[in-house]
Copies of this chain bind each other. A is one copy, B any other.
């Protein structure tokens, strides 16, 4: 029976991981630590499981009892809007959080974390294989996220090298779907939130920059398989994402097509916005036999729109009470 900790478990991706961990019969106790910086209490509100404890605390300083058999480190903002506003807090969450979590991992336990495609920076290679060392400006305005994720990866692989710690590092590519904050600030959710409120859909720059949009259910499938499911045991780093590359403008146009009368507005480009992003999934195919993305981005966007509509309706109902 396992004692499990999820740092950032009330976050967007974290909450899906928590759901799937609770599906496991061998999980005796699941402690979520989340400071609700970008995570939200309501992401876990539907879970009524006596094995689950939610601690509202920073992972760097949370008062934890004992050690854990499995530690999942997802405590970090992932949207530029959020990490650029509080970069030092972002670095601390990833790196100081990572070092702290190593201390509460029992010997022989598993330390898994979600890293990011941003470790590749302004990629000069496409698609990006895990062996690509990246092109990150370590003094640039996105460095808090990119470099602290790189340093977190370094921390885990060094722990593996000198202590034999069992680690699994997933590099996630642009995840979207229900439970993204309406004020998250990344393209898909931004476009939907704007269109739903009758505001212009804002595209930064020309919109020709590409992303590979992974629908959250598909990504959670991969994480479940990789971290504790039927995957080949492999420390990573492992790209996880959808390798269908779509431009930001294409997404904006698709969202526009779902909302009659909506319009697209172009704003100046944001600093150091990567021009392209697409995972090389060769390794994922070997490590995660049978896994593939099943939800097209169009279907994913439609599901996300329905979720945002329900959220908005609920918020308005509460406001009208």
Contact = CB atoms under 8 A, between A and B. Distances in A.
Contacts of A230: none
A141 B154 CA distance: 9
Contact of A161 (B121, B141, B147): B141
A151 B95 contact: yes
Contact of A151 (B91, B137, B237): B91
Interface in A109-135: 119, 121-122, 133-135
B133 A154 contact: no
Contact of A143 (B85, B86, B121, B154): B154
A194 interface: no
Contacts of A143: 153-154, 157-158
A136 interface: yes
B153 A138 contact: yes
A10 B237 CA distance: 38
A138 B148 contact: no
Given A151-B147, A153-B138, A91 B95 contact: yes
A151 B94 CA distance: 11
Given A88-B158, A161-B87, A151 B151 contact: yes
13 contacts: A87-B155, A88-B155, A88-B158, A119-B138, A133-B134, A134-B136, A138-B157, A139-B236, A143-B157, A144-B154, A147-B151, A147-B153, A148-B154
Interface of A: 85-88, 91-92, 95-96, 99, 102, 119, 121-122, 133-141, 143-144, 146-148, 150-151, 153-155, 157-159, 161-162, 169, 236-237
Given A95-B151, A147-B154, 13 more contacts: A85-B162, A87-B161, A87-B162, A91-B95, A91-B99, A91-B151, A92-B99, A95-B96, A122-B133, A133-B138, A138-B157, A139-B237, A147-B153
